[in-house]
């Protein structure tokens, strides 16, 4: 388990993360976010009981794009759809995979919006994460979309 391999005082390298996940979707998504939004990853440790351990956050200015959580062979991507982005999300979600459509429908809204924790095991989930990030911040580099 990821949190057992790397405790709060044992920070992994980005190469350790990639090796642990061992899934090309991870590297592809990271490259996409970094190139499209001209941003760099920030590794942080979370004591959150839901997903304890080291995670990778991407932000553009002060706006969160996504937080990625390493798992053995796959990863989770947390994308927060803000309250003001929900109307556009309702238009985009029908273009997403059935998995993401279902997740969106069963995820409760809060006064902030919806916190979607997508399990990325295949290309369709990875593409859905990209679409959801684009709701947060429009891509800077249109060629990467």
Q: What is the pLDDT of residue 76?
A: 96
Q: What is the CA radius of gyration of the chain?
A: 15
Q: Is the model's pTM score more than 0.85?
A: yes
Give the pLDDT confidence of 107-129 residue by residue, as tens digits: 999 999 999 999 999 999 999 99
Over residues 29-40, mean pLDDT: 96
For the four alpha carbons of 108, 109, 112 and 115, in that order, the dihedral sign comes to positive
- Please state the domain extents for the chain: 2-144
Instruction: List for the chain the helix, strand, coil content (%; round to 5).
Output: 45, 25, 30
CA dihedral (21, 116, 91, 101) in degrees, to 10, reads 70
Give the pLDDT confidence of 41-93 residue by residue, as tens digits: 999 999 876 788 999 999 998 889 999 999 999 999 999 999 999 999 999 99
């Amino acid at each position: 388990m990821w949190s057992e391999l790397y405790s709060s005082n044992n920070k992994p390298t980005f190469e350790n993360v990639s090796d642990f996940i061992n899934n090309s979707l991870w590297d592809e998504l990271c490259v996409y976010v970094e190139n499209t939004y001209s941003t760099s990853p920030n590794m942080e440790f979370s004591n959150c009981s839901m997903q304890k351990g080291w995670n990778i956050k991407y932000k553009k200015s002060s706006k969160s794009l996504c937080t990625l959580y390493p798992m053995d062979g796959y990863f989770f991507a947390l994308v927060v759809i803000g309250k003001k982005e929900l109307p556009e999300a309702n238009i985009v979600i029908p273009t997403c995979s059935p998995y993401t459509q279902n997740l969106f429908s069963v995820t409760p809204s809060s006064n902030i919006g919806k916190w979607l924790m997508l399990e990325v095991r295949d290309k369709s989930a990875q593409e859905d994460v990209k679409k959801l990030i684009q709701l947060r911040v429009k891509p800077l580099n249109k060629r990467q979309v």
